[in-house]
Structure 1
Amino acid sequence: MILNRLSILNFKNIAQADLELSSGINCFLGNNGMGKTNLLDAVYYLSFCKSSTNVIDSQNIKHEENFFMLQGYYDRDGVPEELYCGLKRKQKKQFKRNKKEYSRLSDHIGFVPLVLVSPADSELIRGGSDERRKFLDLVISQFDKDYLNTLIRYNKALAQRNALLKDEVTEASLYEIWEEQMALYGLSIYNSRKAFLQEFIPVFQEFYNYISIGSEEVKLEYTSDIAQGDLSKQLASVRDRDRILGYTTRGIHRDDLEMRLGEYPMKRIGSQGQNKTFLVALKLAQFDFLNKNGTTPILLLDDIFDKLDAHRVERIIKLVSGERFGQIFITDTNRKYLDEIIKQTGNSYHLYNVNNGNITRNKEDAL
């Protein structure tokens, strides 16, 4: 997947930009707070129909403006594709492919595969289990449409059961309807997550070992209530307790992906460099998985070199400079690492300067 041209109007602090992009590497250089991350977020938005940093759509409109607009012109395996997203305040978001509006935004997910590596990824380690489930769901739903639809159905059944609990309904038959659906959809989701991780974990460990030069052992362990047996029976057994609590305490909405350094939780003992290495390896494994299962994703690298020693930076540069990666967008405050990546690839690149939302191409440096 190649993004050839990107047009932005009133998105966050970017008033207007119209960029002709390299099919190789696109480097965005500037100080913190100038708009580099916002530029990457515009690319992300066209893949996932939402921002990676702000889920409230209207807050992505530039201050004192009434709308934003994003347009992307792609080459998807040799076929030209045009994507459009527009949002006016207090109106419904429009999302179109080749000028035809989607009836459901979920139908678009996976059409433009994309992997983002950013400082916000630290929540995967530090945050709650919901962050790690979101990671699993995001990766799997990009190549498996049935998975996303099943997840939506599970969440609807869960919401109905929670509504009964909050209303303190006692009639068992009303619960059984939704619990049977949760068990059916939950088992499908559990099997998809388990199958994905069986393929994903060895690749993740391979990347981590390469970046760290084999100096540490890392693990990912998937935990789920469904591993304990029939979910409908489990839900029936905790129904009285759940009614007191007012929410559902069993199900795939409580699954977790435990992240370990050796035998200990990464979030307890990992250094800043080890945490960053863990997250980069996780996202590169995500890229590798999507690449093997469909169109080559676009790779966004937002300020990834901070907190890493020179050896780890060098290993990451060698990885992303390899043939297995396609179009790359990189941001940094220091040009040193960008120049190293460019030098190693020998591929075409564009270098941009970003200053207070203004994006200008440095044509003297570009190939």
Structure 2
Amino acid sequence: MTQLALRKLRLSHFRSHKALNIDCAPGPVAIYGPNGAGKTNIIEAISMLSPGRGLRRAASDDMIRKPEKLGWKIAAELQSLSQTHEIETWLEGGQGRNVRIDGKAASQVALGKIARVLWLVPSMDRLWLEGADGRRRFLDRMVLSFDPGHAQNTLTYEKAMRERNRLLKDQVRDPHWYRALEIQMAEAGAMIQSARAETIAAIALAQDGAETEFPRSDLNIIMPDGIEMAQSKDALADALAASRPRDLAAGRTLVGPHRADLSAVFTAKAVAAKECSTGEQKALLISLILANGRALAHSFGAPPILLLDEVAAHLDASRRAALYSEITALGAQAFMTGTGVELFDSLNQDAMRLSVGEENGTSYANVV
């Protein structure tokens, strides 16, 4: 299978790493070391090779190594299908994040066209128990892995919605002020909803066609009680217009894709994910990440890069072995972190193992 793989990674003043150079193997990469060694910082840097704010959703300024505060830079060599790309992304001088691909300035959307990156981090373990915002972000990250243009549609929708909400808070009642904004929201919103539905269908198909140790889940996009999800551009524009009196009373927009939620049901037990055990919820999340990877391997032409932070520590030995086996079968380059090398005993012995730590203020990542 054609591969998407990180070949080289160079960090400068990123988080805890003043300077760190890693030459990566194309398959699974086990990163281990004590707490505070900077393992998660490495995979966060890799996540910044895709659009957005990375796996921690941190502000760019928060990634600057202290106390120097010089800015940060990530440089990478990426094999993407049949091409090799040089990628740089950096922050300096209090300005926004910059991106350069093959020596030319580029947008974050351009990153999404050559690099598909999925991640699972411990903060996501409560995905099914907390608010809809987190589940919506999880859904949109899945969508973005298939459709890099989804980010721009989301930005367009949110910008127009902010303007509409300002009118609502100011109690503006003239319909002419709303119409142009609602048309913008409807055009972008219809594309958002269509892309989400297509993604859910692709994930379902990828789960149906797989033999896996991890449980299948049935996904659905739902709206708050009493609100119907308008599917077409015209229907969404009409729904926004009809909702103005209610929105004026609330001071915000109450209909649209920004109100959507993602529900999941453990298929074999017919139990909602939020009612499953902690272990089952973790297994369901892993299953979705793997299904997303399988679907991307089909649509993009190569499996995505996987970033799995502390995933091994939350699985028993048999589930760890099953996960490593599935990653190998998928053919994905997967970066996995853990505190001890023993967590990766069942990983193929040919896989790369990196011991990460710090000596005299200098980071190291040694191949073991």
TM range (shorter): 0.7 to 0.9
Deviation at 1:4, TM superposition (A): 1.1
Match of 2:242 in 1: 237
- The residue aligned with 1:286 is 292
CA distance in 2 between partners of 1:280 and 1:59 (Å): 28
Q: Which of residues 25, 29, 32 is equivalent to 1:26? A: 29
**What SS does structure 1 have at the residue aligned with 2:220?**
strand
Cα distance in 2, alignment partners of residues 108 and 54 from structure 1: 17
Is 2:90 the partner of 1:83? Answer: no
Per the alignment, residue 5 of structure 2 pairs with 2
Q: What do residues 172-200 of structure 1 show as CA deviations (whole Å, max 9, x unaligned)?
A: 12222222332233222212211221221
Q: 1:183 to 1:92 in 2, by over 3 A?
A: closer
Alpha-carbon deviation of 1:228?
5.3
Q: Kindly indicate whether residue 49 of structure 2 is the aligned counterpart of residue 42 of structure 1.
A: no
Q: CA separation of 1:199/1:271 partners in 2, compared to 1, >3 Å: closer, same or farther?
A: same
Q: 1:350 aligns with which of 349, 352, 362?
A: 352
Partner of 1:109: 112
Distance 2:239 2:324 in 1: 48
Give the alignment partner of residue 71 of structure 2, picking from 61, 67, 71. Answer: 67
| SS, match of residue 347 in structure 2 | helix
Is the counterpart of residue 299 in structure 1 residue 306 in structure 2? Answer: yes
List aligned pairs for 1:177-188, cutoff 5 A: 177-188=180-191
- Give the alignment's TM-score, normalised by structure 1: 0.88
Task: Tell which deviates more after alignment, 60-69 or 110-119.
Answer: 110-119
Write out the 4+ residue segments of structure 1 that deviate beyond 4 Å after TM superposition.
none
Q: Which residue of 1 aligns with 2:218?
A: 219
The 8 Å contact of residues 272 and 307 in structure 1, kept in 2 or not, is answered as no
Match in the other structure for 1:99: 103
Equivalent residue for 1:201, pick from 199, 204, 208:
204
Size of the aligned set, in residue pairs, is 352
42-51 or 65-74, larger mean C-alpha shift:
42-51
Q: Does 1:131 align with 2:134?
A: yes
Kindly provide the CA deviation profile for residues 115-162 of structure 1, in whole angstroms up to 9, marking residues without a partner as x.
Answer: 112212224323322222222222222332443333232222212211
CA distance in 1, matches of 2:236, 2:51: 31
The answer to whether the 8 A contact 2:6-2:76 is kept is yes
The root-mean-square deviation of aligned C-alpha atoms, in Å, is: 2.3
Q: Secondary structure at the match of 2:332?
A: coil
Q: Distance in 1 between matches of 2:73 and 2:314?
A: 35
State the partner residue of 2:315.
Answer: 308
Listed one character per residue, the Cα deviations across residues 68-106 of structure 1 (whole Å, up to 9, x for unaligned) are: 11100122223221011121252232211112112x333
Q: Is the 8 A contact 1:352 1:359 kept in 2?
A: no
Q: CA deviation at 1:6?
A: 0.7
Q: CA deviation at 1:226?
A: 5.3
> 1:176: which partner in 2?
179
Question: 2:9 touches 2:23 (CA, 8 Å); kept in 1?
Answer: yes
Stretch moving more, 197-206 or 278-287: 197-206
**Which secondary structure state, in structure 2, belongs to the residue aligned with residue 359 of structure 1?**
strand
Q: Structure 1: which 5+ runs fail to align?
A: none
Tell me the secondary structure at the aligned position of residue 128 of structure 2: helix
CA pair 339-313 structure 1, distance change in 2 beyond 3 A: closer
What is the identity percentage for the equivalent residue pairs of Structure 1 and Structure 2? 25
Deviation at 1:277, TM superposition (A): 0.1
Instruction: Give the aligned partner of residue 169 of structure 2.
Output: 166
* 2:275 equivalent to 1:273: no
Match of 2:263 in 1: 258
**In structure 1, how many angstroms separate the alpha carbons of the residues matched to 2:54 and 2:152?**
21
Residue number in structure 1 paired with 2:251 = 246
2:230 touches 2:256 (CA, 8 Å); kept in 1? no
Find the counterpart in structure 2 of residue 326 from structure 1.
332
- Counterpart CA distance in 2 for 1:148 and 1:67 is 25
> Where do 5+ consecutive residues of structure 2 fail to align?
none
Of 118, 121, 126, 2:124 maps to: 121
Change (3 A) 1:351 1:258: same
Which moved further from structure 2: 174-183 or 245-254? Answer: 174-183
Structure 1 distance, partners of 2:52, 2:189, is: 25
Structure 1 window deviating more from structure 2 (300-309 vs 10-19): it is 300-309
* Secondary structure of residue in 2 paired with 1:125: coil
**What's the offset of the Cα at 1:24?**
1.9
